[in-house]
Structure 1
Amino acid sequence: MEIELLKNISPVGQAFIATIFTWLLTALGAGLVLFFKSINRKVLDAMLGFAAGVMIAASFWSLLAPAIEMSAATGNIPWVPPLIGFLCGGFFLKGADSFIPHLHLGQPLDKAEGLKTNWGRSVLLVTAITLHNIPEGLAVGVAFGAVAAHLPSATLAGAVALAFGIGIQNFPEGAAVSIPLRREGLSRWKSFWYGQLSGMVEPIAAVIGAGAVYAMSSLLPYALSFAAGAMIYVVVEELIPEAQSSGNSDFATMGTLIGFAMMMLLDVALG
């Protein structure tokens, strides 16, 4: 993405373009299923750990830290809006988890969460990943919306860095969806279709997030921390447990450290 080309586009358009990029990387990751029927479990766990590290770093450097700065600049008690938004984000996703039928990777069908349904296993798996991609799209959307509000702590380069980091971690996420589906008997193309489909929700969430905070800039500290809380929920609820479930904790932990360091580097260097 060329930053200069984005400057003359509305924040909603910027967020949409940025999350089309993140979706494309999801599709590229899912495309690995066209060449491989399986993936080494140690590699998969390291990839999941990497995604977790990126999301943890993005939650603080790109979302919570700007929210705290914005709260202080507007005369509010600095920690109140971020605290409220962060907890609301986590509880919102918990509510969605309890309501929407879905199934985590590696779990048997009788462990499906949410309301009871007759949906097939593949649909439940994709629903889980799709549900947990919403915070990523929302995070990118509110980051670009914050730039449009001309707040000192929000920069276009920082928003682009966030989108780039999330896009990179979407690559292993796409593979983590499509390859297990292939292993369970779906065709290569159907596994690819479901894998990339999980990333399509991100542009929708980004447009909603950017539009909301652009229209009501007073929501920004709450919106940024809401996205952070939702992303941390995904990390703790899904990514880390799945990465640690096969006994490859060293690989998962190193992946997390590398992912965190890369996102921190991107945000500090570009933001």
Structure 2
Amino acid sequence: MEAPVNLLFSDFGLYVKTFEVYIERSTQHQCTKKFIDENLSDLVTSIGKKGASCLNVLGLGSGSGEMDLAILSKIQSQHPGLPIHNEVVEPLPQQISKYKDLVKEKGQGLNISFIWNQLSSEEYVKQNKERKESKKFDFIHMIQMVYYVESIHDTIKYFHSLLETNGKLLIIYNPDYTRFRSLSFELAGDHFVPDVQKVLDELRMKYQICKLSFGMDVTECFIEGNENGEHLLDFITHIAHFKKSVSADQKDAVLQQIRQPQFIKEENGQIILNRIMCAIVVDP
């Protein structure tokens, strides 16, 4: 082992940089946005208590806010004239800063107020319990954040308990996540993320699921010394400075895992990894 192995999330600056490369090299954002554009209007029509003066929305792991604003726009279009109180939970200050800039740029005309919480979901739960707060929400979303919580079971159970009578909980994640994180489980003490559907079944929750496919250009991962390829491998494995931190055999094993024939398409010199995304809507 050439260097100590650290999880990517231990270095916020590196995490943001690798995430940006990942988003540039994949169609994950476009896939998520397409789901929101095509499905969310119908899903949020029924939210909100009769005679309510506002709608309360909670975003967990909101990042830089692109998906949040798309969701909020859809909710407002289905409930015109009704103010929205939007609460953001995001641990990275860089992401909150980008989110605020996005609101200034694209939030004009939206009747939305924002509460900013620079906290992890666990810290948010702890804060609520210490303050004995149990505010209810009409819509809660957890987009690509279940990998970073200590217990997905406890997280889903707690935030589901905050739904209003007609509320909805949206969970979006990549079920093939653990296939690429196995090395970080082994080397850096990362935790195993259980299957979200299994957790929902154990909690006896009612839900609908939509499976979506998206692509990721991993060509640069196979070019020695390519900086973007190294950042992409960092994000895929969630090991900081992956190539410098693992043995040659471990690096080769991960690259072979990525390039399994059943998951890739090679054409015009590009290697495209086919991935799956699940969007789950949970009823109260």
Report TM bin, short chain: under 0.3
TM-score normalised to structure 2 length: 0.25
Whichever structure has more strand as a proportion of its residues is 2
TM-score normalised to structure 1 length: 0.26
